[in-house]
Amino acid sequence: MEAINAGGAIQPAEGRFSYEGSPMSLDMLVMMLEMETVSLLDQQIATRLEEIDRRNKLVAKVNEGMAHAKRARTDAKGKDGDNAKQRNSEWDSFVAGLRDDPELRSLADKLHSGNITEAQWEENITHLENWISGQNNISQQSMLKLQTLMTNRGHAFNLATNTLSKSSETKRTILSKM
């Protein structure tokens, strides 16, 4: 009787298993597979953390634009012509920077630039608030997924540790009865 995993690398022989040509006991094989699971979960956690970090940087960038838009709206309300022209120039540069980022291009396409009226500043602020709110929702979902991955990693690590402990305990019990 021959047991073969999907890749054909695990083979039983005389009460022991061989993995890629190296003999090992069943408990060591199970522990090795659980540690492999832990390693895969570590990779997924790292990827999720990078995604969260990337999203946080995008939100920070858009938050800076939000602060700028709110100051510019205040200038437009106060009819401060010189300050408004400077803000429009800075705003145009900000929007151009958003267009250069593929993830922010669709947001940039919704924003007014050039000579902007008070109503258009309000629209810009609304678009930015909506985008930030959407990203915050996505971030919350990402954090929940990250928490699930961390929990699964803990369970896999505990299973590997428990397997090793039970194997050691069984061997000690057998030796003490000899």
Selected residue with higher pLDDT from 18 and 117: 117
State the Cα–Cα distance between residues 47 and 41, nearest whole angstrom.
10
Domain assignments of the chain as residue spans, ordered by start: 48-157
Cα-based distances in Å from 171 to 26, 31, 158, 168, 177: 13, 16, 20, 5, 10
State the Cα–Cα distance between residues 168 and 165, nearest whole angstrom.
5
16 forms beta bridges with 13
The pTM (predicted TM-score) of the whole model is 0.72
pLDDT one-digit tens code per residue, 155-173: 988 888 888 788 788 878 8
pLDDT one-digit tens code per residue, 78-123: 765 555 566 678 889 999 999 999 999 999 999 998 888 888 899 9
